[in-house]
A and B are shown apart, each in its own frame.
Chain A
Amino acid sequence: MDLNTLITVEGLARSFPAPKGGGNVTVFDELWFDVAKGEFVCLIGHSGCGKSTLLNILAGIDKPSGGVVIVDGKEITGPSLDRAVVFQGHALMPWMSVMANIAFAVTSRWPKWSAAKVREHCQHYIDMVNLTGAEDKKPAQLSGGMRQRVGIARALAIEPRIMLMDEPFSALDALTRGSLQDEVVSICTKTRQTTFMITHDIDEAILLADRILLMTNGPEARVAEIVVNTLPKGRVRNELHKHPNYYAMRNHLLDFLVSRSEDLRGMVEGVDPKHPPMVFPKAGDGGPQPTLAASRT
């Protein structure tokens, strides 16, 4: 095993009892991938392929039906403060202020810290997500984007080894989403935070991810391909589309979501699920040519 590997997922499967009885429905099986230290990995797939289930298993909230998740050489058995989760619906406690929400996490991590130290630590992360001044506000007094910032600050404040994000920006409007993505880029670059994020937004994946896992449609979804981001690190949202590889990346992902995710369903024959093909989309690869009118998904 590579020393640099933080998470290894081996042969992971999850099935649920079928709604009308008669056997189980396997959402995904034979899932194999890994995440290196300091890496940002995105997983893209259609709804129904078990993305959120996978994230819940990584978080330790849900249990797999088969296979293992290994973090730092140890199989996970439940939730851990080493793995912080940013939930899709922010999941802030509405009766707690911003400060109290983050302090709840911080005191869970370091129960012996004095109140002053907890406060100081929380303040650092509140400032980091640009929420200075909103410490004493309740979540109901914040906009959707600000709430998700608190969710991110809460996850970062426990200084996790891995941050797991479940479509964190999907409920936000495009402008807010953009500025939050920028902040996540700068925070993750600064802190070298290992992050695993689920998304269905292609541009988000290109901006944030070092590698992008493509998941086929469920049931029995698998990782069909691992796309290595050919745009160099230090990506800036406004400059993204000027890079020669951008359209190759974008079209590859779009093509996958639109048609190939369905074609590859049930897994193509002859491909070892342990080693899904690695793809490096570059300019001039052929395939669909860049079109400015490429529709967003």
Chain B
Amino acid sequence: MSTSSSLKAAILSVVLLGAFLGAWQLAVGGTGSSQAMDPEYAALMGATSKGASAMPTPLDIGKEMWRHISDPFYDKGPNDKGIGIQLGYSLARVLLGYLIAAIVAIPLGFVIGMSPLFYRALDPYIQVLKPISPLAWMPLALYTIKDSSISAIFVIFICSIWPMLLNTAFGVAAVRKDWLNVAKTLEVGRLRTAIRVILPAAAPTIMTGMRISIAIAWLVIVAAEMLVGGTGVGYFVWNEWNNLSITNVICAILFIGLVGMALDQVLYRLSKLVTYAE
């Protein structure tokens, strides 16, 4: 039953993809309105003036994708690096900012979750800081840190801290009273209770926060790198737009999606390790 339904879903996926690519090919492959064009303008527009769209066909994308995949790590100067290198830069920034955020958010979330006093004291600040677009911090970061790469990491840090902080606090505060009472009656110390009871009890909620955070961090890095420039997949997208290479922009979009999916899958696997059935 389940194998046949998953097979059906797979077939439908392939059919939808085929329909989409077919429509795309038809849409961009047709003739344009070049006849009505000023000949001088037509000369400037190059290929487009001969009736082809600037939009590449799926086949062009496929070829370009293959070129990127077959040689991802070349480095021909600051404006021409392989997609692997660019993704590597972005990933490194995301992971660094995310890791620092986790190191700050999880212990702080523990404190907030365990102490209603802290929760009430910090809640107004969290409520104000949370809705700020992480990119709004960028000028402040550039001014104080004076390093564009570290500023990007800071932006990742500030955007990934909130879901982890709030989920940890919520998870810790929602630990069943019974389990804490068990620890109390067994005269278990505070630290051991935190590690052996509260942490595993709150782990699924914390992992949910971590999954939300990594997704947000990966969304934000592209925008941040467009701003700071230099390296990274966000810079790559903007650079290719300046080159008017729509093909490469689309390739980059696909790679961003694939890496984002991979990050989510990794965290999903990790969260499965800590979930428990009640």
- A residues sitting closer than 8 Å to B (CB atoms) are 56, 59-61, 79-81, 83-85, 87, 89, 91, 93-96, 104-105, 108-109, 138-140, 158
Contacts and interface: CB of A to CB of B under 8 A. Distances in A.
A109 B186 contact: yes
Nearest to A111: B192
Contact of A93 (B185, B200, B274, B277): B200
Interface in B247-278: 274, 276-278
Q: Which range contains the number of B residues in contact with the other chain?
A: 20 to 34
Contact of B277 (A60, A83, A87, A94): A94
B233 to A, nearest CB: 38
Contacts of B200: 93, 95-96
A104 B186 contact: yes
Q: Which 6 A-B pairs have the closest CB atoms?
A: A140-B277, A91-B178, A95-B276, A108-B186, A94-B276, A79-B185
Interface string B173-204: 00010110110111110001000110011010
Contacts of B188: 108
Nearest to B186: A108
Contact of A138 (B179, B181, B276): B276
B277 A61 contact: no
Contacts of A158: 186
Contacts of B276: 94-95, 138, 140
Contact of A89 (B178, B184, B192, B197): B178
A138 B277 contact: yes
7 contacts: A61-B181, A61-B185, A79-B185, A91-B176, A93-B182, A104-B196, A140-B277
Contact of B186 (A94, A105, A138, A140): A105
Contacts of A60: 184-185
A202 to B, nearest CB: 27
A240 B54 CA distance: 93
Given A95-B276, A140-B277, A108 B187 contact: yes
A85 to B, nearest CB: 5
A93 B278 contact: no
Contact of A87 (B178, B192, B201, B278): B178
A105 B277 CA distance: 21
A197 B232 CA distance: 66
Given A89-B178, A104-B196, A140-B277, A95 B187 contact: no
A84 B201 CA distance: 22
Contacts of A105: 186
Given A61-B181, A95-B276, A96-B200, 4 more contacts: A81-B185, A81-B187, A93-B201, A94-B276
Contacts of A139: 278
Contacts of A109: 186
Contacts of A93: 179, 182, 197, 200-201
Contacts of A81: 185-187
Question: Chain A CB within 10 Å — which of B179, B185, B200, B203 has the most?
Answer: B185
A94 B185 contact: no
Nearest to B197: A93
Contact of A85 (B179, B181, B197): B181
A108 to B, nearest CB: 4
A57 B18 CA distance: 69
Nearest to B176: A91
